[in-house]
Amino acid sequence: MRPDASAKLAANRPKDGPSKVLIGAVIAAVAIIVIVVVVIVNAEQSKSSAGGSANALSNGGGVVAYPGKASSDAPTVDLFEDFQCPFCKHLETASGAEFDKLAKNGDIKLVVHPMTILDRPGTDDSVRAANAAYCADDQGKFVDFRRVVFANQPQEGVGYTDAQLKQFGAAAGITGDAKKTFDQCVDAQTYKNYVNNVQTQAEKAGVFSTPTVKINGKAVSNQTMNSFMQDPSALDKAVKAATK
């Protein structure tokens, strides 16, 4: 009798498993759809040409501190900072008064760019703090407001509540009806789009960390930045050196 070959035949028959092409096509299609959706959603979100506060430059250009003071030939000093960034506080503590003095005297045109680098997913403390700074700018208190924020800066990552931001407004000298307008502006996040615009423009200008200081469009070296954090007179020297 011949041995039964059916078992052997069954083992050698081509397997009718799932089609490799089909599975591959499904995986590729799902991946491509996800990618397209993510890119489109993101493009929609970043579309905004929102205007800023009273002394804000158009197209996310930041806020001019002490508007109208700078002499016509004064160099532009751009200060990029994040209200949550500890080193920005160091800079403000060490040289903030010097920045203010030079700007007030008209020796420099000081433009401040509040950035939102330190916001992590689900947090928007830098966005809300920057928004509040623009709200303060509408009341003529931008410079005072940012000084108060840095003076009260918590440990990195703790962030700011809206109630705190409103208190900072009061501490910056915003009172009466102006304070009401300021509080509404903080609650409504009136300048949220402008905040994002400033962040985008700063990145386009190659600023990926805070604090960054640019004199006439050129970022100062790390060494110079360190000197600002130790010696207030370093700013004037750097400005003179850059504009010689």
Partner 1 sequence: MSGTSETETMAGASRKPLVLDLIGLAARLILGGVVLVAGLLKVTDPTAAERAVRAYQILPYDLAGTVGLVLPIVEIVAGVLLILGLFTRIAAVIGGLLMIAFIIGIASAWARGLTIECGCFGGGGTIPAAETNYLPEILRDIGLVICAGWLTVRPRTTFSLDRRLF
Question: Taking CB under 8 A as the rule, does residue 26 contact partner 1?
Answer: no
Write out the H or E segment, with its range, that includes residue 77.
Answer: strand 76-82
- Tell which residue, 55, 158, 66, has the closest CA to residue 104: 66
Nearer to partner 1 by Cβ, of 174 and 202: the residue is 202
Question: Taking CB under 8 A as the rule, does residue 209 contact partner 1?
Answer: yes
What is the torsional sign of CA 106, 215, 124, 46? positive
CA distance 152 to 81: 15
Site string for partner 1, 185-204 (x = CB under 8 A): ------------------xx
Write out the H or E segment, with its range, that includes residue 149.
Answer: helix 142-151
Among 1, 9, 68, 121, binds partner 1 (CB under 8 A): 121
- Tell which residue, 78, 75, 51, 49, has the closest CA to residue 64: 78
Question: Taking CB under 8 A as the rule, does residue 25 contact partner 1?
Answer: no
Question: Least distance from C-beta 121 to partner 1, angstroms?
Answer: 5
Name beta bridge partners: 115: 82
Question: Taking CB under 8 A as the rule, does residue 13 contact partner 1?
Answer: no
Number of residues near partner 1 (by CB under 8 A): 25
- 209-213-216 Cα angle (round to 5): 130
Among the listed ranges 36-44, 61-69, 163-171, 173-181, the one in contact with partner 1 (CB under 8 A) is 36-44
- Per DSSP bridges, beta strands 218-219 and 212-215 are antiparallel
Chain mean position to CA 21: 46
Question: Taking CB under 8 A as the rule, does residue 157 contact partner 1?
Answer: no
- Tell which residue, 223, 196, 214, 213, has the closest CA to residue 117: 196
Question: Least distance from C-beta 125 to partner 1, angstroms?
Answer: 14
Site string for partner 1, 94-113 (x = CB under 8 A): --------------------
Question: Taking CB under 8 A as the rule, does residue 34 contact partner 1?
Answer: yes
Residues forming the site for partner 1 (CB under 8 A): 11, 15, 17-18, 20, 23-24, 27, 31, 34-35, 38-39, 42, 46, 117, 119-121, 203-204, 206, 208-209, 222
